[in-house]
Amino acid sequence: MSGSHGHPAHTIHRHHHHHGWDNSIKPVLTVAPGTVVELETIDSSGGQITPSWTVADMGKLDFAKVNPTTGPIYIDGAAPGDAVKVTLLSYKPSGWGWTANIPGFGLLADQFKDPALHIWKYDATSLAPAMFGNIAQVPLKPFAGTIGLAPAEAGLHSVVPPRRMGGNMDIRDMAAGTELLLPVEVAGALFSLGDTHAAQGDGEVCGTAIESPMDVTVKLDLVKGANIKFPQFRTPGPVTRHLDAKGYDVTTGIGADLMEGAKAAVSGMVDLLTKRHKISAVEAYMLCSVCGDLRISEIVDMPNWVVSFYFPAWCWIDGSALTPTLSPQAGRGSFERARHKAPRPSGERGWE
């Protein structure tokens, strides 16, 4: 049975997960092309971080358990040279998540050497913006950070770096309605998915998003002879309308090294937000990771390139950034100073 109208024919429980990519892992399910499957996922900590955790618990984190993916699924007929077409049908969020600064990880690891943790709570039905204390509100756009197939190379390979066949790409536009093509390297493709996020900015600059367990429903199709080298995808519509309403503050980094330019742009935004909004540097850094966007603005005028970092003004709880015509919702986090109600962006209904 393949399922129809988006209703899954199969559900894969979250305990069917693995750590790393390995084409010798036995598939938990074999399906025909066109099958709809629901995958239950664990958060990227592997279930270690819970809503009761504080920053004092971060030292207990076992990095051998991070970024588990649910699967793999064997797709009948898939062979090297084909592509698996993944239609991301829906996300069922859990209502909580976390963002952390993990020492040694993230774009500005040299600057932020101490651990930090923010626990988010949000309405899993309405997907009203998640509250960062009474400082900011973050529009939610659930997606899977890790979506991929098994590589051709034998052995166990880390799930952390993205690969030719997808993996830990952390592209926030892998939201409901997106169609993704992944190049097949082994028979059956061996599809897996995990690392689900309630929200993230382009770049995920501190190393984490709003890491949130959820259930994901996908349709798995096969494109024979596609011969693509890397993943490709099509979004169902605009990708930043949940952020655009009030404009952006933008900082830049300019020079001959794109990575150094990226660091300069993000560091500049952290400084700007810290001074303007009277928050700590690590709070600003984590907010940049969950709702700011890193972009290459110019890459042709040698020898210097321009990297920009965009932070949406709508996110701030300062009166001018609110849209007072919509119903308020509020959440609570570990940095909270006081409860504060805030509306959704004008015209937005959320993602399902």
Tens of each residue's pLDDT in the chain, 352 residues: 455 557 889 999 999 999 999 999 999 999 999 999 999 999 999 999 999 999 999 999 999 999 999 999 999 999 999 999 999 999 999 999 999 999 999 999 999 999 999 999 999 999 999 999 999 999 999 999 999 999 999 999 999 999 999 999 999 999 999 999 999 999 999 999 999 999 999 999 999 999 999 999 999 999 999 999 999 999 999 999 989 999 999 999 999 999 999 999 999 999 999 999 999 999 999 999 999 999 999 999 999 999 999 999 999 986 444 332 222 233 333 333 333 333 444 333 332 2
Helix (H, G, I), strand (E, B) or coil at 223: strand
Distances (CA, A) of 293 to 91, 290, 351: 22, 9, 19
Q: Is residue 316 part of a domain?
A: yes
Structure confidence at residue 347 (pLDDT): 38
Residues in the chain: 352
| pTM across the whole model | 0.89
CA distance 287 to 283: 6
Domain count, the chain: 2
CA distance 179 to 139: 22
Structure confidence at residue 292 (pLDDT): 98
Q: Is residue 239 part of a domain?
A: no
**For residue 77, what is the domain's CATH number?**
2.60.120.580
Q: Is residue 224 part of a domain?
A: yes
Structure confidence at residue 338 (pLDDT): 32
Whether residue 153 sits in one domain with residue 70? yes
Does residue 200 contact residue 292 with C-beta atoms inside 8 Å? no
For 78, phi and psi rounded to 5 degrees?
-70, 135
Structure confidence at residue 340 (pLDDT): 36
Q: Is residue 5 part of a domain?
A: no
Whether residue 120 sits in one domain with residue 96? yes
> In this structure, how many other beta carbons lie within 10 angstroms of the beta carbon of residue 252?
16
Chosen domain end from 202, 234, 266: 234
Q: Is residue 304 part of a domain?
A: yes
DSSP at 344 = P
Structure confidence at residue 5 (pLDDT): 57
* β-pairing verdict for 166-168 and 214-223: unpaired
Structure confidence at residue 64 (pLDDT): 95
**For residue 251, what is the domain's CATH number?**
3.10.28.20
Could you tell me the residue range of the domain that residue 267 belongs to? 244-343
Whether residue 223 sits in one domain with residue 329? no
Whether residue 114 sits in one domain with residue 56? yes
Whether residue 219 sits in one domain with residue 256? no
Residues 6+ apart with CB under 8 A from 312: 243, 244, 246, 247, 248, 291, 292
Whether residue 161 sits in one domain with residue 33? yes
CA distance 45 to 98: 10
Structure confidence at residue 330 (pLDDT): 30
Residue 196 sits at the vertex; the CA angle it makes with 191 and 199, to the nearest 5 degrees, is 140
Whether residue 284 sits in one domain with residue 165? no
CA distance 111 to 118: 19
Chosen domain end from 234, 269, 303: 234
Chosen domain end from 234, 268, 302: 234
**For the residues of 283-330, what is the DSSP string, one character each?**
HHHHHHHHH-EEEEEE-SSTT-EEEEEEEEGGGB-SSTT--TTS-EE-
Whether residue 255 sits in one domain with residue 166? no
Structure confidence at residue 7 (pLDDT): 87
> In this structure, how many other beta carbons lie within 10 angstroms of the beta carbon of residue 229?
7
Whether residue 166 sits in one domain with residue 262? no
Q: Is residue 2 part of a domain?
A: no
